[in-house]
Structure 1
Amino acid sequence: MSQPASPLPDRGPTGRRTAKGSLSSTAAKRVERPAPLRQVVYEALAELIINRTLEPGQHLVEADLAEYLGVSRQPVREALQRLQSEGWVDLRPAQGAFVHLPTDEEADQLLSVRSVLETHSAKLAAGNATADDVVRLWELQKAGITALRAEDTEGLVAANAALHAFITQLSGNAVLAELIGLVDRRVRWYYTPIARPRGKDAWNEHDELINAISRGNAEAAEEIMARHTERTRQAYHERPEAPRS
């Protein structure tokens, strides 16, 4: 009776296994799989909400979103459910999905936490920044000034996020960076409607902050960042479309 073929790799002349495409081969690579469609749709919708293409309170119709993104309704439905669980979307019975309308209290809580985290981040960055790091900070500052002159809101938000993210990186504190990363998207959401009104003042404050970091003055960097983030918080409450009591 014949024996079934062995599932083990072939053996070479020395008796050692010589499996084709051995896992130990230096040429072997992991297959790079594209992100699942539901993840891509989630990221796209999240970004549309953050940059205010989809405005707070706006009704989200699955069919319209699916057509806009060129996908079926199923990944849109899954993305909306995830966005609802993360506080970006409200699902109302018999009404559908709506972009979450943030309250001033929600914004205040988030921006207050952001202030604490980024103030400490600036203090640490001042003690760690090298000459090359300072050059990079000025490059990021220049990108913001360019966007400001062009009245480019999206560019301003991106430049602001990049500058703050690099300062966080310079802090050298991985836990701090992780915590700031958790609130980054929502900070960008709140910052978008005030990016241009804050405009020149915000980037003048960045200028002061970079100068303090370049001098290694941790106390000044801490103080400037505290003042900077507090003014951003106030500006959000004073934005033109803010509800009046």
Structure 2
Amino acid sequence: MSETGPARGSRSRRKPLERPAPLRQVVTDEIADMIITGELQPGEHLVEQELAAQLGVSRQPVREALQRLHSEGWVDLRPGLGAFVHTPTAEEADQLLATRTLLEAESARLAAANATPAQVEQLRELQAAGEAAVAADDDAGMVAANAALHAQIMTMSGNKVLTELIALVDSRVRWYYRPIARSRGREAWDEHRELIEVIAGGNAKKAGDLMRKHTERTRKTYHAARPAQNAPDGRADGLETA
């Protein structure tokens, strides 16, 4: 297990999973969420029996889930050793966050061209939720509000293909954003506020430019924070994993 990861014995048993969807998919989504939120740390050994007990399922859907997560890049399978949470490389992160910049800049441009007053009001409500999370020093709340605000802008773009493409990278973005949510903090939400007003004013070009700058700042912050994320205790210069 990674030295930065929580002790397995300290984790509470989760409530049994609901089963309207195929169980293997539910288990896959749950383990991915545990990785995104930091409950499972990069490099941590994933033991089928322990995960099955924690999720209240048999080992078979856990095994299937780990195979699926391996194919999607969340988990590394090492012959003779087992499954481990993938540790993103700097190159992987750079490629993903650069792609996100291209897609989200276009979504902001289209959102400004198509925005309705009701949609803008929803953005302002999400902005308020994010600012409240910053004030409360709530990392999880910041990540959730940030994801919701960006998702709303995607929806406002009106381009379903673009929205689907952004959704493909969204979970990875949340995973990478979590450790830097606090360091981005107020600055990120000041940028959001400016972007919302530009979208409300219908200035498509400026909205695209602002989103490009905003996502590029996040990318640069992520790379600057990597030494802190890789420190033995997971903390450095005031940055800590959630």
Q: Secondary structure at the match of 1:53?
A: coil
- Structure 1 stretches of 4+ moved >3 Å: none
Q: Give the letter aligned to residue 75 of structure 2.
A: V
Q: Give the letter aligned to residue 57 of structure 1.
A: G
Deviations 1:188-222 (A, max 9, x none): 11111111110111000000100100111112111
Shift of 1:243: 5.5
- Give yes or no for contact 2:179–2:229 (8 Å, CA) kept in 1: no
- Separation of aligned partners in 1, 2:41 and 2:215: 24
Larger relative helix fraction: 2
- Separation of aligned partners in 2, 1:36 and 1:217: 44
Q: Secondary structure at the match of 2:163?
A: helix
What corresponds to 1:67 in structure 2?
53
Shift of 1:134: 1.1
Find 1:215's aligned residue among 201, 218, 223.
201
Shift of 1:66: 1.1
**Structure 1 residue 155 corresponds to structure 2 residue 119:** no
Cα distance, 1:224–1:82 mapped onto 2, change above 3 Å: same
Q: What root-mean-square deviation, in Å, do the aligned CA atoms of Structure 1 and Structure 2 show?
A: 1.3
Identity, in percent, stands at: 64
The count of residues paired between Structure 1 and Structure 2 equals: 212
Structure number, greater radius of gyration:
1
Find 1:129's aligned residue among 115, 122, 135.
115
**Structure 1 residue 54 corresponds to structure 2 residue 40:** yes
Q: Give the letter aligned to residue 160 of structure 1.
A: N
Q: Give the letter aligned to residue 221 of structure 2.
A: A
Shift of 1:57: 0.8
- Separation of aligned partners in 2, 1:190 and 1:53: 14
Q: Give the letter aligned to residue 187 of structure 1.
A: V
What corresponds to 2:163 in structure 1?
177
Q: Which runs of 5+ in 1 are unaligned?
A: 1-32
- Separation of aligned partners in 2, 1:181 and 1:210: 21
- Separation of aligned partners in 1, 2:28 and 2:116: 38
Deviations 1:21-65 (A, max 9, x none): xxxxxxxxxxxx821221211111010011111011111111111
Q: Which runs of 5+ in 2 are unaligned?
A: 1-18, 232-242
- Give yes or no for contact 2:70–2:76 (8 Å, CA) kept in 1: yes
Q: Secondary structure at the match of 1:97?
A: strand
Deviations 1:77-125 (A, max 9, x none): 1110110011000000111100000001000000000000000110111
**Structure 1 residue 241 corresponds to structure 2 residue 197:** no
TM-score (norm 2): 0.85
Q: Secondary structure at the match of 2:108?
A: helix
- Separation of aligned partners in 2, 1:79 and 1:132: 40
TM-score (norm 1): 0.84
The 5 A counterparts of 1:32-111 are 34-111=20-97
Find 2:104's aligned residue among 101, 115, 118.
118
